């Protein structure tokens, strides 16, 4: 009513007694304009104030610094890095380390979270209680503390640097990390890789054929066993073939115990182990609750219907409950993935060289370019999070109930 | 409503903009009634809180001396513990008035970071600490070692330079806080702990068995540690610089916290100038003329400061060495007050 009262007389007769401000639409526009002015002037103030302060202290602003030589060393690098590399390269090294721990963490947390979440709904009293205790303990202790506990527990449990636990074919394990044997590929190893890729393609073909056959005839096919068999067969045959033609396709370089601990081999750093364990077990406790909520959201009738059709509890969970629960699970799961990625910045506490540690930490400190480096770091985390969200939204749309 | 909002927003923007132009640091400190001093998060002998939260150390004494020079009361200091990583940003942004936190004076910090170093209160150098049972007695035998250190320090760069120059392999494990560095070294993650030699003696006290560890003889860098201030306030820089100089000159002239009052009556014109009996040197830097006398009365001369915090009779047990006065074989030399 008010809208009409305010609007109509003004249009009709010039409305001498009414202020334009009483028009709700005008006021709506006015307030929005004011808000924009407010936000823009605040941003302008922020930028000009920063610029003025930087100028007053004789600090220049610019990103050319990224091409200067860093001069410090980083222990875990996924790409070539030397002390005389640039700050730009430090950024890439740090970013890759962040992505590594985030990707591994997401996979581990998801697997563990699903197991614990389903376990909490188990009819077995002990399993259900154990899952409850796990969830309640882990999600109620601050993550930073858990990272310290894992890291220093990992450190204290493992043998000292000049000793090592001999894992036989798996290399050596001690306080400086896990030294796995590193593969040295012989001539013709590409044949094995090609065979493996073909076998994986074959697995997809089998699974699609089996699904069609199941739909057409109702005959189930042991897809999992067939796939494993295919991959193993492809590996064995190609390896034998390569061995016959070129000789050893693959030699393993084993680490040896040197003066300052093991040398050689591929190395998994204890900082990565500690951080990964802490991040994935912590996030898994939240994912478990999300999974439980998702499963409980599927009505009991679905289970009963499935049972009455003759499906046992395994296939019921896998084929009926989980696909429907996924629609409830995926959106909050995305938040957990984002949290895990952002929480990985706590790495700095235990010397894991992630983006915050080496770029927004060491590099920032050596150069003093706080504004530029923090801006780049924030933009990077934002990009990682947005890309993760985009992917999860796409996946969610695919899993959503499609109405036909 | 709408008519009122616009001026408020505009006014707020203008009002905030006005705060850009900052007042002189001395005026701010006087108005606040206390000096805000950036110190370490706990380094015995340099800046370390006791169980009651009272800070002590040679860096803390610099803060106290400056507070005494300004207010005549060395308790008017509030201490802000800063990590190595946070310290310069805290100073640049005005969170602290003065950074007195075992910080090495380097060219890039003095120029690019927009800081000014006011002098040196401890001449240090980077060293290595190892376990005795490692069987190493020289840093040249450390090829292949894992080295624990702090992020954002000159030590991180020096260790990279040293191992590269010696063509030795190494692995750096860099933590943000000194306590974690010590814990990881103590747990055996690293073979070597590196930081300034004074820091090694100080941190060794925190290890489970200090006697099992030794500091190697090599000193691989020059680390002049001193207080730093923001660039662009010359008066404030002068206050910090000359307070530190006054403490060193006081040792040279034999003025101590105990005899400072009676020395005011000494006939020596150099002493009379330093203690404000002659001339108006204090006024020239915006303080009272007896600023130096007040600082010396509060913390004593440099020698007293050294002996009390890091000297041979303390847990750290460090000899004067380089930090002795120039006439005693050290390199401590303060310009004259005249």
Residue A228 lies in a domain: no
- A42 lies in the same domain as A105: no
**Cβ under 8 Å to A: B residues 216-245:** 230-232
Mean pLDDT, residues A378-402 taken together: 89
Query: Which helix or strand (DSSP H or E) is residue A117 part of?
Result: helix A87-120
What does residue B205 show for φ and ψ, rounded to 5 degrees? Answer: -65, -25
**Chain A contact for B179 (CB, 8 A cutoff):** no
- A299 lies in the same domain as A366: yes
Residue A169 lies in a domain: no
- A281 lies in the same domain as A150: yes
Q: What is the pLDDT at residue A404?
A: 60
**Chain A contact for B170 (CB, 8 A cutoff):** yes
- What 3-state class would DSSP assign to B257? coil
Contact B252, B320 (CB under 8 A): no
A58: left (phi over 0), alpha (psi -120 to 50) or beta: left
Task: List CB contacts (< 8 A) between B175 and chain A.
Answer: 349-351
- What 3-state class would DSSP assign to A157? helix
Mean pLDDT, residues A227-245 taken together: 87
**Chain B contact for A99 (CB, 8 A cutoff):** no
pLDDT beyond 50 at A236: yes
What does residue B85 show for φ and ψ, rounded to 5 degrees? Answer: -70, -35
- Spatial distance between the Cα atoms of A301 and B58, rounded to a whole number of angstroms: 75
Q: Which two tokens stand for residue B83?
A: 């990590």
Domains of chain B: 23-123+225-328 (3.40.190.10), 126-221 (3.40.190.10)
Q: What is the pLDDT at residue A170?
A: 83
pLDDT per residue as tens digits for the range A319-341: 889 888 988 899 999 999 999 99
Q: What is the pLDDT at residue B229?
A: 95
- A379 lies in the same domain as A278: yes
- Spatial distance between the Cα atoms of B231 and B262, rounded to a whole number of angstroms: 38
Tell me if A45 and B145 make a contact (CB, 8 A cut-off): no
Query: Average per-residue pLDDT in chain A?
Result: 87
- Spatial distance between the Cα atoms of B90 and A250, rounded to a whole number of angstroms: 55
pLDDT per residue as tens digits for the range A296-310: 999 989 999 999 998
- A131 lies in the same domain as A30: no
Pick the more confident residue, B323 or A17: B323
- A319 lies in the same domain as A382: yes
Burial class, A169, CB count within 10 angstroms (exposed 0-12 / middle 13-18 / buried 19+): exposed
- A52 lies in the same domain as A136: no
Task: List CB contacts (< 8 A) between B95 and chain A.
Answer: none
Other beta carbons less than 10 A from residue A271's beta carbon: 29
Other beta carbons less than 10 A from residue A64's beta carbon: 8
Q: Which of A84-93, A253-262, A383-392 has the lowest mean pLDDT?
A: A253-262
Residue A205 lies in a domain: no
pLDDT per residue as tens digits for the range A371-382: 889 999 999 999
How close A31 gets to chain B, by Cα (Å)?
Answer: 7
How many domains does chain A contain in total?
Answer: 2
Contacts of residue A207, Cβ cutoff 8 Å, sequence gap at least 6? A223, A227
Mean pLDDT, residues A357-370 taken together: 87
Residue A210 lies in a domain: no
Mean pLDDT, residues A345-374 taken together: 89
Q: Which two tokens stand for residue A311?
A: 């499906």
Nearest chain B alpha carbon to A160: B188
- What 3-state class would DSSP assign to A164? coil
Residue A174 lies in a domain: no
Residue A67 lies in a domain: no
CA-closest candidate to residue A256, choices A174, A357, A360: A174
- CATH number of domain containing A111: 1.10.3720.10
Q: What is the pLDDT at residue B7?
A: 41
- A35 lies in the same domain as A154: no
- Spatial distance between the Cα atoms of B134 and B213, rounded to a whole number of angstroms: 10
Residue A117 lies in a domain: yes
Which of A45, A57, A351 has its CB closest to that of B17? A45
Range of the domain at A99: 87-161+270-399
- A148 lies in the same domain as A11: no
Q: What is the pLDDT at residue B9?
A: 41
pLDDT beyond 70 at A13: no
Other beta carbons less than 10 A from residue B137's beta carbon: 12
**Chain B contact for A21 (CB, 8 A cutoff):** yes
Mean pLDDT, residues A311-323 taken together: 87
Tell me if A366 and B174 make a contact (CB, 8 A cut-off): no
pLDDT beyond 80 at A393: yes
Name the DSSP letter for residue A68: S
- A286 lies in the same domain as A153: yes
Contact B147, B134 (CB under 8 A): no
- Spatial distance between the Cα atoms of A56 and B319, rounded to a whole number of angstroms: 42
**Sign of torsion over alpha carbons B83, B89, B91, B95:** negative
Task: List CB contacts (< 8 A) between A161 and chain B.
Answer: 146, 188-189, 191
Contact B86, B129 (CB under 8 A): no
**Chain A contact for B168 (CB, 8 A cutoff):** no
Mean pLDDT, residues A242-267 taken together: 79
- The pLDDT-based confidence of A9 (bands split at 50, 70, 90) is very low
Mean pLDDT by 10 residues, chain B (338 residues): 41 38 80 95 91 94 96 95 89 93 91 90 94 89 90 86 91 89 90 91 87 90 94 93 96 95 91 93 93 95 95 89 93 93
- A156 lies in the same domain as A276: yes
Other beta carbons less than 10 A from residue A373's beta carbon: 22
Which alpha helices (DSSP H) does chain B contain, by range? 2-18, 25-32, 58-71, 87-92, 107-111, 154-165, 178-187, 197-204, 234-253, 260-263, 269-274, 281-284, 291-299, 302-309
**Chain B contact for A273 (CB, 8 A cutoff):** no
Pick the more confident residue, B157 or A16: B157
Residue A225 lies in a domain: no
- A41 lies in the same domain as A105: no
Mean pLDDT, residues A102-129 taken together: 94
Contact B115, B106 (CB under 8 A): no
Contact A220, A214 (CB under 8 A): yes
pTM, whole model, 2 decimals?
0.79
């Amino acid at each position: 009513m008010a809208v009409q009262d305010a609007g109509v007389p003004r249009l009709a007769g010039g409305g001498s007694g009414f202020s334009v401000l009483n028009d709700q639409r005008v006021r709506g526009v006015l307030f929005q304009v004011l808000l924009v002015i407010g936000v823009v002037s605040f941003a302008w103030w922020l930028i000009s104030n920063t610029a003025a302060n930087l100028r007053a202290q004789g600090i220049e602003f610019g990103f050319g610094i990224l091409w200067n030589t860093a001069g410090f060393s980083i222990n875990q690098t996924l790409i070539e890095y030397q002390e005389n590399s640039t700050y730009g390269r430090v950024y890439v090294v740090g970013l890759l380390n962040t992505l590594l721990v985030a990707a591994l963490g997401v996979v581990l947390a998801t697997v563990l979270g699903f197991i614990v979440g389903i376990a909490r709904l188990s009819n077995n009293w002990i399993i259900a209680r154990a899952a409850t205790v796990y969830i309640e303990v882990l999600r109620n202790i601050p993550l930073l503390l858990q990272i310290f506990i894992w890291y220093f527990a990992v450190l204290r449990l493992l043998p000292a640097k000049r000793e090592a636990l001999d894992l036989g074919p798996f290399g050596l394990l001690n306080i400086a990390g896990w030294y796995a044997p590193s593969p040295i590929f012989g001539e013709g190893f590409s044949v094995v890789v090609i065979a493996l890729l073909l076998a994986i393609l074959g697995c997809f073909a089998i699974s699609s054929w089996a699904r069609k056959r199941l739909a057409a005839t109702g005959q189930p096919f042991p897809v999992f066993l067939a796939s494993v068999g295919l991959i193993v067969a492809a590996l064995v045959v190609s390896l034998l073939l390569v061995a016959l033609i070129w000789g050893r396709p693959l030699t393993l370089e084993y680490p040896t115990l040197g003066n300052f601990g093991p040398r050689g081999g591929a190395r998994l750093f204890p900082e990565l182990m500690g951080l990964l364990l802490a991040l994935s077990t912590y996030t898994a406790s939240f994912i478990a609750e999300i999974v439980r909520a998702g499963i409980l959201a599927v009505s009991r009738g679905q289970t009963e219907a499935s049972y009455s059709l003759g499906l046992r509890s395994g296939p019921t969970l896998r084929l009926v409950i989980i696909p429907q629960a996924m629609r409830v699970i995926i959106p909050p799961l995305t938040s957990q993935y984002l949290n895990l990625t952002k929480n990985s910045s706590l790495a700095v506490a235990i010397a894991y060289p992630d983006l915050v540690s080496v770029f927004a930490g060491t590099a920032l400190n050596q150069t003093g370019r706080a504004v530029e480096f923090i801006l780049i770091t924030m933009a990077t985390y934002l990009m990682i999070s947005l890309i993760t969200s985009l992917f999860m939204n796409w996946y969610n749309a695919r899993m959503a109930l499609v109405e036909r | 409503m709408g008519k009122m909002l616009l001026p408020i927003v505009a006014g707020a923007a203008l009002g905030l903009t006005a705060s850009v132009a900052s007042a002189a640091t001395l005026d701010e400190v006087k108005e606040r009634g206390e000096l805000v001093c950036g110190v370490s998060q706990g380094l015995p002998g340099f800046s370390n809180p006791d169980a009651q939260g009272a800070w002590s150390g040679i860096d803390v004494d610099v803060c106290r001396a400056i507070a005494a020079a300004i207010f005549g009361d060395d308790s008017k200091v509030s201490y802000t513990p800063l990590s190595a990583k946070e310290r310069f940003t805290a100073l640049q942004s005005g969170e602290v008035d003065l950074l007195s936190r075992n910080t090495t004076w380097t060219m890039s910090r003095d120029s690019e970071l927009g800081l000014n170093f006011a002098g040196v209160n401890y001449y240090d150098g980077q060293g290595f600490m190892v376990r005795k049972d490692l069987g190493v007695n020289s840093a040249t035998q450390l090829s292949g070692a894992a080295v624990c250190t702090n992020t954002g320090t000159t030590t991180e760069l020096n260790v990279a330079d040293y191992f590269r120059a010696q063509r030795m392999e190494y692995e750096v494990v860099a933590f943000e806080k000194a306590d974690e560095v010590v814990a990881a070294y103590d747990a055996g993650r690293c073979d070597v702990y590196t930081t300034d030699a004074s820091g090694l003696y100080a941190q060794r006290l925190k290890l489970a068995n200090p006697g099992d560890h030794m500091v190697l003889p090599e000193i691989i860098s020059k680390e002049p540690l001193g207080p730093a201030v923001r660039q662009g306030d010359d008066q404030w820089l002068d206050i910090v610089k000359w307070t530190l100089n006054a403490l060193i000159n006081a040792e040279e002239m034999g003025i101590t916290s105990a005899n400072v009052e009676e020395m005011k009556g000494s006939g020596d014109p150099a002493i009379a100038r330093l203690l404000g009996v002659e001339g108006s040197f204090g006024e020239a830097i915006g303080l009272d003329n007896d600023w130096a006398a007040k600082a010396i009365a509060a913390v004593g001369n440099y020698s007293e400061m050294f002996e009390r915090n890091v000297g041979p009779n303390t847990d750290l047990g460090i000899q004067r060495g380089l930090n002795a006065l120039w006439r005693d074989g050290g390199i401590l030399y303060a310009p004259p007050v005249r």
